[in-house]
Amino acid sequence: MLKKLLELDVDIIIGSFNKVSSEGDLYPSIQNTDGDSLLDANEIVEYRISYLRNPRKNQMLMICWAKLLRMSIIGKNNIRFDTSLDIGEDMNFNFNYLSYVKSSLFLDCDYQNC
């Protein structure tokens, strides 16, 4: 992920992930794009809107892990977790962060093939 972040100079890398059941069953990778997808600011807005329309389908904004973010964007814009929230704090943080992002990369890989 770091290699791609430096290579492409994007503001966020969003990695895919696998779900594993408590029995150890592996479910297909959760990825909302086909292959690696570079999104510009307008496409990021569209992705955020699609999340609001169907959060279960577009799960990548529900979590903060599986991402590389630029600390400079977080610091410059004073982006913080809202500690008053019991649920949805990840989504809130992600939406705030994405407000300042000009480019992102959805990286379609897992620990075996990245």
The answer to whether residue 2 scores a pLDDT higher than 80 is yes
- Report the DSSP beta bridge partners of residue 15: 107
Reading the block at residue 11, the tokens are 């503001």
Q: Residue 70: which CATH number?
A: 3.90.550.10
- Please list the alpha-helical segments (H only) found in the chain: 2-8, 41-53, 71-76, 89-98
Residue 35 pLDDT:
61
* Residue 112 domain flag: no
Let me know if residue 23 belongs to a domain: yes
Q: Give 44-95 pLDDT, tens digit per residue.
A: 888 888 888 887 766 667 788 889 999 999 999 999 999 999 998 998 999 9
Residue 6 lies in a domain: yes
In a domain, 114, yes or no: no
**Residue of higher predicted confidence among 99 and 1:** 99
Please provide the distance, in angstroms rounded to a whole number, between the alpha carbons at the two ends of the chain: 8
Q: Checking DSSP bridges between strand 103-107 and strand 12-15, what pairing results, if any?
A: parallel
The pTM score is 0.79
- Inside any domain, residue 15: yes
Tell me how many domains the chain contains: 1
Is the confidence at residue 8, as pLDDT, over 60? yes
The answer to whether position 7 is within a domain reads yes
Please report, rounded to a whole number, the percentage of residues in the chain having pLDDT higher than 90. Answer: 32
Boundaries of domain holding 96: 2-107
Is 87 inside a domain boundary? yes
Residue type, 64: C
